[in-house]
Chain A
Amino acid sequence: NAGVTQTPKFQVLKTGQSMTLQCAQDMNHEYMSWYRQDPGMGLRLIHYSVGAGITDQGEVPNGYNVSRSTTEDFPLRLLSAAPSQTSVYFCASSYSAGRVEKLFFGSGTQLSVL
């Protein structure tokens, strides 16, 4: 049982480049989410999904897109990378959407935008 798998673990981009961070879970969880973690600012929600075909914005959605075509996958797309998007990104999932309980986090992606 792999849990929540994120790829890549590290990525360096140039300003203006686009890329997709991958997230997959094998626990049949309804709820999936993306957070970014910046020093001293905790974890801030970017986007979340309560099921396949349903996504919504979190606290800091600008510059990011998501889709949820299957229950298992929830990719995060950076449209045109900016230095302000340098951060550690975590994908997290939970069993039930209407009653989010324990969040299972992926191992994170360290992204640097030069």
Chain B
Amino acid sequence: GENVEQHPSTLSVQEGDSAVIKCTYSDSASNYFPWYKQELGKRPQLIIDIRSNVGEKKDQRIAVTLNKTAKHFSLHITETQPEDSAVYFCAAFNNAGNMLTFGGGTRLMVKP
């Protein structure tokens, strides 16, 4: 089955700095890669996603890049703010198996 690894597990940045979280996946048939944000005690919520036919996608301060050859994708957050503090999860979906597999999560702390 699919295996998704996520790094780092914790990340501390100063407000205004950029944050980068990286994920690798194992199944070359995976074709959809979402990122979820989970605030403390809340449910995960989708913040951005990318499909395998696209190399990069941006939405205001967040962007995701995908390298299919290397089987890795990354989340970039620019001009970080304290409200960006949360746990971020990457995931990979293989429609042949109908399963969305999550990485282990990254706890991002933005210090004011």
Note whether A and B form a binding pair.
Answer: yes
Q: What distance in Å separates the Cβ of A48 from its nearest Cβ neighbour in chain B?
A: 7
Q: What distance in Å separates the Cβ of A59 from its nearest Cβ neighbour in chain B?
A: 7
Known: A90-B43, A98-B95, A105-B45. A42 touches B6 (CB 8 A): yes
The interface residues of chain A lying within 8 Å CB-to-CB of B32 are 99-101
The interface residues of chain B lying within 8 Å CB-to-CB of A40 are 9, 104-105
Interface residues of A in 16-41 (CB under 8 A from B): 31, 33, 35, 40-41
Interface size on B, residues (CB 8 A): 22
Is A97 located at the chain interface by the 8 A CB criterion? yes
The interface residues of chain A lying within 8 Å CB-to-CB of B49 are 101-102
Pairwise interchain contact B44-A43, C-beta atoms closer than 8 A? yes
The interface residues of chain B lying within 8 Å CB-to-CB of A107 are 43
Is B46 located at the chain interface by the 8 A CB criterion? yes
Is B99 located at the chain interface by the 8 A CB criterion? yes
Residue of B nearest to A90 (CB): B43
Tell me how many residue pairs across A and B have CB atoms closer than 8 Å: 57
Q: Is the interface of B mostly helix, strand, loop or mixed?
A: strand
Q: Tell me, in angstroms, the Cα distance from A41 to B45 when the chains sit together.
A: 17
Q: Which of B98, B99, B104 has the most CB of A within 10 A?
A: B98
Pairwise interchain contact A42-B98, C-beta atoms closer than 8 A? no
Contact of B100 among A50, A100, A106 (CB under 8 A): A100
The interface residues of chain A lying within 8 Å CB-to-CB of B89 are 42-43
Q: Tell me, in angstroms, the Cα distance from A58 to B98 when the chains sit together.
A: 9
The interface residues of chain B lying within 8 Å CB-to-CB of A98 are 95, 98
Pairwise interchain contact A41-B104, C-beta atoms closer than 8 A? yes
Known: A40-B9, A100-B93. A106 touches B101 (CB 8 A): no
Binding site for B on A (CB under 8 A): 31, 33, 35, 40-45, 48, 50, 56, 58-59, 90, 97-103, 105-108
Binding site for A on B (CB under 8 A): 1, 6, 9, 32, 34, 36, 43-46, 49, 89, 93, 95, 98-105
Provide 7 A-B residue pairs closer than 8 Å at the C-beta atoms, listed in order of the A residue: A43-B89, A44-B102, A59-B99, A90-B43, A102-B46, A105-B45, A108-B43
